[in-house]
Structure 1
Amino acid sequence: MEELQPLVQAIERLGYRVTVGDVAAQSGLRVALVEHQLLQLAAASQATLQVSDRGDIAFQFPHNLRQRLQQESWRQQLQLLGQQLWRLLFYLIRISFGLGLLLSIGLFVVAIIAIVVALSEGGDIGGGGGGDSSGGSGSSGSSAPSWGGDWWPWLTFDGPSHPNSERRSLNFLEAIFSFLFGDGDPNADLEQRRWQLMGAYIRSQQGAVVAEQLQPYLDRPLDSSESDLLPVLVRFDGQPRVSERGQLIYQFPALQVTASAADGRSRVARSLQERLWSFSQASRGQILGAIALGVVNLVLAAVFGGLLLLPGVASLGGIVAVVAGLYRFLLVYAIGFLAVPALRWLWIQRKNQEIRRRNRDRQSWADRLRKPSLALGEKLMQLAPWRTQAKIDPDKLIYSGDRDLLDQEFAQDSAIAAEWQTRLMQTDPEEP
């Protein structure tokens, strides 16, 4: 926020309670620029708006203004870095769980076969452990390529899907990912949708609104200072105004001018509605298949653990020794493969309850506007003087960059002459 430093210095010299005129005079910056940047500072530092009995507006900034701005800057940078690192970490976790399921099943199957072969040969397992383990290892080596060759085409992975890409059917690994970790936040674009709805609604209200009209697009009730609306003023270059009865009105001059042929007062969604979380985009068959593989993996882990208790089995080498060394980890993984989706399902139920509550609150705030109370109705009536909508008509242009300047001047002179002629024709002649 280097560009805001002159304003910060001016605010500090003025005692942290300032008006736009105070800061403009102190800093020497343009009034329009100061007004916009003051709103940015107020939003970043959680300052409050104050309105006098004359309708003048002041900003009360906290005395630790620089610290708050520094904390906000670091918070934004750390949040961006954290989001990038989390995407990478989460992607790696999903891949490790998907491939880990197949690897775990393969290890258990090969190790159990090796143990069964060793037991079927009889004799002293402990003494013949080397030969048996080598035989088991050789058996696993001959069967592994064919097992991998049969499954590899099924495990093709095209990378993580993107929100803007067309939805397609999930392959095996993607279905496993979806079963374990879901398909991402359905409201990842919530802020973008929020701003789009707010901008469209303000335009439909001819660029002037009160706080209650923007409430259905927020996540919580507004406090008495209405400070939650400061980001809206910053984004759409809004200006707080005071009506004749002392009501605070927000006017957005940039949204009161349009060159579009569409009607600016078209129907707009009256409230922001969040999407509910879904458990998985995988098909029912894919989810059942993932559950079945998870159960098979858990059963194989239990069988292998039981075989380890037999005399002499723990002394076998080769693949049996490898799986025995990893057994605790593989057992935790087998349990976690089924536990993680179960816990996630419970989390989704609670998350959706919160989303439904917020959606109901926003809808109730929108319903109050349809049937406003007496006080709210009077407040809405105060908007009339501030509402306006100017349309740039292509037939009434005095200059356009795609036309010759001399032709435009000639056309303008002709239009002026025609207008005067019309006025003279409409003037009554004087009576003799």
Structure 2
Amino acid sequence: MPKKMKDEEAYGRIVTVLKKKTEGTTVADLVAATALPLEKVKELVPVASDEFGGRLQVTESGEILFSFPNGFRSKYRGFAPTLRRILSVLSKAAIVVGTMLFKVWIAVMLVGYFFLFMAIALVALAASVAVSASSSSDNRSSSRRGGGMGGLFLATRIFDLIIRIWFYSEITKSWNGDYGVRAAKPRRKPLHQAVFSFVFGDGDPNADWDTREKKAVISYIQANRGAISLPEFMALTGLGPREAEERITVYLVEFAGSPEATKDGTIVYRFDDLMRRADKKDRSFFALSAPIKRLKTFSSNTRKMNGWFLALNGINLLFGGYFLTMALGIGPIVSQAQITGSTYLYAVALAIFSGAADPVSFISLVLGAVPIAFAALFYAIPFVRRQRERKENAAVKNENLRKEAYRRIWDTPRKVSPASFNPVAEESKPDDIEAARERVIKELGSYSNPEVEIADDGKPLYSFPELEHERKALAEYRAEIKEADSELGETVFDSHA
């Protein structure tokens, strides 16, 4: 790749599309396949042709067909280009590895601290049993006996908790309770991925939405002689009239479009440059069939698995709070009298980490502050994310409903019943669908005044005569567009001839 190339992501998308093409491709074809702005494609395609020795065919209309009969071997070879490619691969690999290590770290923090606390509890249990056995034959050490029994009770309860949790076997194994036979093991998600899924989710299913939406709109424009109306654009994007007017202005800039008026003054948006293509395959439906946004899911884990993660984190939080409280409140234990039922586990931890330069500070930080901070974030991040996702999903449902409603109204502008906006997909069903239906009518009414009549059942029916008129005017306008104007014509120049 040339040194001055800055837009590597866009360039990579163009090259990827070109590699899939077996015949000549125009700029309009590449725009439709990548959803990149027209000028950006015009800028980068010649660069790709130069780098990979492309074939250029000029047609009678002046359009250039780009093809690569000799494959995609870059002319940029040698140490510097090779180093850039290696560094690019390494940077991508570093991101992948870094992401994986971050996921592993979260799982290690959750499970590692749990096992660390359980290990301390088991040591405390063993020590408590030994102390209790010794003190039962030594009546002279009543204070020790009190501490031992307190510690034994606490450690016993902790040990009982360990038995009850048995967490990972319960998370990942399935059991046929009717017959007592272990069922075939389903494919299990790695633990670090499951923990990450609970905390951060599984990614945004609509991360590529801008590209998907643009491809759908471009395909519809190309399937309809290069012209589109604002109501059609609204049905494809799910935007209200005001937002749609702002967004289609962006399309006009990015794809060299222009607003035009029909004979009766109806505004039509025309994109002639998108029609100069070699690939005549229709990638859209003639009717307004728009892609819909997907809902975000909190986690792909089962509820049971997430419940175990919450429980483990809660245990870590309790232990962390206990050790931090003991370290700040008790400090070093200098006498046997300080060892009581409540401080016994802390005393055992001090003995275990007595080799540290400052055991009290070590416990307050490593067994107290760090697990508390981690546990707080482990609870807070999913909570905040869930609240945000609920709002985003509500917006997605309303947008998808608008697409279906606008399409139905555009197809049949007369006697529209809001109850007919009855989507099947969950992604298009707002929680309060009745209110959402009414909002759709009001929003569209700001663009085209509806006529209202009452049906026999007492419910209102809405008619949009202005939309009906606009639909007819658009059909007449499209009929006057000559498809021959977008024909490429014969090849008049071939760089490989």
TM-score interval (norm. to shorter): 0.5 to 0.7
**Could you tell me which amino acid in structure 2 is paired with residue 113 of structure 1?**
L
Alpha-carbon distance between aligned partners in 2 of 1:368 and 1:295, rounded to the nearest angstrom: 53
Separation in structure 1 between the aligned mates of residue 316 and residue 352 of structure 2, nearest angstrom: 21
1:59-78 CA-to-partner distances (Å, cap 9, x unmatched) read xxxxxxxxxxxxxxxxxxxx
Would you say the 8 A contact 2:236–2:288 is kept in 1?
Answer: no
Matched, 1:374 2:414: no
- Distance change (3 Å), C-alpha of 1:224 and 1:381: farther
Displacement, 1:191? 0.2
TM norm structure 1: 0.53
How far has the Cα of 1:273 moved from its partner? Answer: 1.5
- The answer as to 2:492 corresponding to 1:399 is yes
2:111 pairs, out of 96, 102, 114, with 102
Map of 1:429 onto structure 2: none
Please give the alpha-carbon distance, in whole angstroms, between the structure 1 residues aligned to 2:256 and 2:467. Answer: 25
Equivalent residue number for residue 223 of structure 2? 204
Residue 136 of structure 1 corresponds to which residue in structure 2? none
Following TM superposition, the consecutive aligned residue runs of length 4 or more in structure 1 with deviations greater than 6 angstroms are: 86-93, 123-127, 302-309, 391-394
AA aligned opposite 2:394 = Q
Of 465, 468, 477, the match for 1:385? 477
Q: Kindly provide the CA deviation profile for residues 296-337 of structure 1, in whole angstroms up to 9, marking residues without a partner as x.
A: 545655776899885364553443743344424424534553
Output the aligned Cα RMSD: 4.3
CA drift at 1:220? 3.4
Say if 1:259 and 1:391, in contact at 8 Å, map to a contact too.
no
1:333 aligns with 374
Percent same amino acid at aligned positions? Answer: 21
CA contact (8 A) 2:227 2:269 kept: yes
Q: Which amino acid aligns with 1:365?
A: Y
Structure 1 match to 2:33: none
Pairing 1:184-195 to 2, within 5 Å after superposition: 184-195=203-214
Q: 1:361 to 1:112 in 2, by over 3 A?
A: same
Cα 1:125–1:382, aligned 2, differ >3 Å: closer, same or farther?
farther
Q: 1:390 to 1:318 in 2, by over 3 A?
A: farther
Q: Is the 8 A contact 2:235 2:288 kept in 1?
A: no
CA contact (8 A) 1:216 1:362 kept: yes
SS at match of 1:273: coil
1:91 is displaced (CA, Å) by 7.6
Conserved 8 A contact 1:217-1:271:
yes
User: Which residue is 2:233 aligned to?
Assistant: 214
Alignment of 1:288-367 (within 5 A): 289-298=308-317, 311=340, 313=344, 314=346, 316-319=350-353, 321=360, 322-325=362-365, 326-334=367-375, 336-338=377-379, 340-367=381-408
Single out whichever of 172-181 and 381-390 deviates more from structure 2. 381-390
Instruction: Give distance in 2, aligned partners of 1:233 and 1:125.
Output: 88
Number of residue equivalences:
282
Task: Give CA-to-partner distance per residue, 1:30-77, whole Å, 9 cap, x none.
Answer: xxxxxx99xxxxxxxxxxxxxxxxxxxxxxxxxxxxxxxxxxxxxxxx
Whole-Å separation in 2 of the counterparts to 1:103 and 1:95: 11
Q: In the alignment, is the contact (CA less than 8 A) between 2:227 and 2:271 conserved in 1? A: yes
Asked whether the equivalents of residues 226 and 270 of structure 2 are also in contact (C-alpha less than 8 Å), the reply is yes
Deviation, structure 1 residue 92: 7.5
Q: Distance in 1 between matches of 2:250 and 2:121?
A: 63
Relative to the length of structure 2, the TM-score reads 0.47
User: For structure 1, which segment, 331-340 or 375-384, has the greater mean C-alpha deviation from structure 2 after superposition?
Assistant: 331-340
Give the distance between the partners of 1:224 and 1:277, measured in 2 at CA: 23
**Cα distance change of structure 1 residues 390 and 255 upon mapping to structure 2, 3 Å threshold:** farther
Residue 111 in structure 1 maps to residue 105 in structure 2 = no
* Aligned twin of 2:265: 246
SS at match of 1:226: helix
**Which ranges in structure 1 are unaligned for 5 or more consecutive residues?**
1-35, 38-85, 128-150, 152-167, 405-432
2:87 matched residue in structure 1: none
Matches of 2:129 and 2:211, distance apart in 1: 66
Which residue is 1:165 aligned to?
none
> Is the CA contact (8 Å cut-off) linking 1:186 and 1:277 kept in structure 2?
yes
Query: Given the superposition, is the C-alpha separation of residues 225 and 217 from structure 1 closer, same or farther in structure 2, using an over 3 Å criterion?
Result: closer
Classify 1:330/1:266 alpha carbon distance in 2 versus 1 (closer, same or farther; 3 Å).
closer
Preserved contact between residue 197 and residue 272 of structure 1 (Cα < 8 Å):
yes
**What are the equivalent positions in structure 2 for 1:144-293 lying under 5 Å apart?**
170-218=189-237, 220-223=239-242, 226-263=245-282, 266-267=285-286, 270-283=289-302, 286-287=305-306, 289-293=308-312
- The Cα of 1:277 is off from its aligned counterpart by 0.7
Residues 259 and 392, structure 1, Cα contact 8 Å, conserved in 2: no
Distance 2:469 2:237 in 1: 23
| 1:256 and 1:388 in contact (8 A); partners too | no
Give 1:225 deviation, angstroms. 9.7
Distance 1:305 1:125 in 2: 28
